[in-house]
Amino acid sequence: MRTAPPAATLTATFFKRALLSSPATILYCRCAYAQVVPTGVKNDVLQKLCDSSASFETVSDLCEMAAHRDPRLSAIAACGKLRIAACYPRAVKGLFEQAGSPLPADAEILNMRTQTAQEIADALLKADP
Amino acid sequence: MITHTHRPLRVVLYEGNGSIQLPAEARAKTMMALLDKGYTVTRSGQGASAMPHDDRSLLVLGAFEGKAPALEDATGRISIDTRDITGLEPDAIVALVDKSRGDKTMNEPGKWKPWFPVIDYSRCTNCMQCLSFCLFDVYGVSEDNKIQVQNNDNCKTNCPACSRVCPEVAIMFPKYQAGPINGDEINEKEAGREKIKVDISSLLGGDIYSALKDRSAAAKSRFSKERSPDKALDERKKCLTKLVGDGFIPADVLASLPSTEEILKKAEIAKAKAAAALAGR
Ligand code: SF4
Ligand code: SF4
């Protein structure tokens, strides 16, 4: 069993990791404000992400964030390579654009309303070329 | 536009160096519970990187074996709290997060439904029909004369009526059940079916709701500036009643319609805005 390192080491590790640009940032939308995404699929996708060792970002509801022009949408859009598990790509792109933070053209959007959890998890967690 | 954001915390589930990993099931259960309460959660695992930090306070949760380290942001801008979650069940972790948030306000699911139109600008031709149609001032025009959703909190929950007047099927409501309004891809057959060709000048002075009811050319000829305001209102109500009856829009939209006078005033304002925007292109 490992023991906790000194505070300074932990700070350095967290921020170094957070600031380094990664191959792809994974974002999961929970659609918690009005559940239009099938519960089984969204739970399974999150479970599969949790089963992996990957770091990832989760938000309660991208629609709610877009409605409030949440500044975190700009931070997400600026992440570089992005893989997003949410709903229809046209809607997700529109939400970011309307909030003034258009997604990069190569952002990969996985649709939890139509795809299977396995397909989505495979796409989110695939190794970068 | 709703601009208030209450986001007191970014919760970080730290499972990197110096902390013990949670069992996968407990990790997922904890994250689901936090997300369903409205929190955002970063899982900081091994190897990959999470999103860069922003200006929110960080609440770092980790199984630090009883020794949560004291952390400080090197820039001094962000406050960082660390909590040890060794041996805690998901419910207890959520309670710990709630306690750490204290009485700071947070947007929470269940109190409000994010319902507002989202424009697909790759399809929108800036025709301004949506601006003319909406009686609740949801739409406006940007400084560069582009149609914009400006007052999304004015939009009537569960009413997607404006998506039906857009001739380009460019208006989406992501929380709607069916496509293409929910953002599903549009096939050309569908696009043709959704298009409602109306004469914009008669529409601006008349009654676009009739267009939803009767899409034939004959129906279009019924748009007339000479119609009495009372008759126009009557038709609008009849049409809306039909849409309510069809289950397409909720009944409270009817109840919240502005007065005849206001409708005519709004039509005038929308006409002027649309004309100015179209002339300025
Ligand atoms: S973006 Fe899609 S999945 Fe996310 S909250 Fe909106 S409707 Fe739900
Ligand atoms: S009606 Fe459709 S195409 Fe016309 S301005 Fe509105 S969104 Fe754009």
- Here the CATH number for the domain that contains residue A61 is 3.40.50
Could you tell me where the beta strands, DSSP code E, fall in B51-204?
57-62, 80-84, 118-119, 139-141, 147-149, 171-172
- The residue that leads in pLDDT, A45 or B267, is A45
A24 Cβ contact list (under 8 Å, min separation 6): A81, A82, A83, A108, A128
Please compute the mean of the pLDDT values over residues A107-117 and round it to a whole number.
98
Task: Give the domain range for residue A74.
Answer: 22-125
User: Would you kindly state where each structural domain of chain B is located, as residue ranges?
Assistant: 10-101, 118-279
Within 10 angstroms of residue B90's Cβ, the number of other Cβ atoms is 19
Q: What is the ipTM of this complex?
A: 0.84
Asked if residue A67 is part of any domain, the answer here is yes
Cα distances from B41 to residues A74, B91, B94, in angstroms, run 17, 15, 12
H or E stretch at B12: strand B9-14
B118/B102 Cα distance (integer angstroms): 35
The number of folded domains in chain A is 1
pLDDT, residue B270, reads 81
Asked if residue A12 is part of any domain, the answer here is no
Asked if residue A74 is part of any domain, the answer here is yes
pLDDT category, A112, cuts 50, 70, 90?
very high
Closest ligand to the CA of B116: 1
φ/ψ of B50, rounded to 5, equals -90, -170
> Above 60 in pLDDT, residue A30?
yes
Q: Are A27 and A84 in contact (CB under 8 A)?
A: yes
Residues of chain B scoring pLDDT < 50: 1-3, 194, 196-206, 208, 210-229, 232
pLDDT, residue B46, reads 66
Q: In what order do the strands lie in the sheet with A56-59?
A: A108-111, A82-86, A25-29, A56-59, B41-44, B9-14, B57-62, B80-84
Task: Judge: B24–A50 Cβ closer than 8 Å, yes or no.
Answer: yes
B74 Cβ contact list (under 8 Å, min separation 6): A11, A15
**Interface-testing mutation among B85, B157, B175, B187, with chain A (most A C-beta atoms within 10 A):** B175
Please compute the mean of the pLDDT values over residues A83-110 and round it to a whole number.
97
Asked if residue A71 is part of any domain, the answer here is yes
**What is the Å distance from ligand 1's center to B26 Cα?**
25
* DSSP-assigned beta bridge partners for residue B12: B42, B60
B139-141/B57-62 β-pairing = unpaired
Q: Is A10 on the interface with B (CB under 8 A)?
A: yes
Residue carrying structure tokens 């404006």:
B162
H or E stretch at B42: strand B41-44
Asked if residue A17 is part of any domain, the answer here is no
**What residues of B are in contact with residue A38 (Cβ under 8 Å)?**
none
**What is the Å distance from ligand 1's center to A111 Cα?**
10
Asked if residue A66 is part of any domain, the answer here is yes
Asked if residue A87 is part of any domain, the answer here is yes
Residue minimizing CA distance to atom 6 of ligand 1: A63
Asked if residue A11 is part of any domain, the answer here is no
* DSSP-assigned beta bridge partners for residue A25: A82
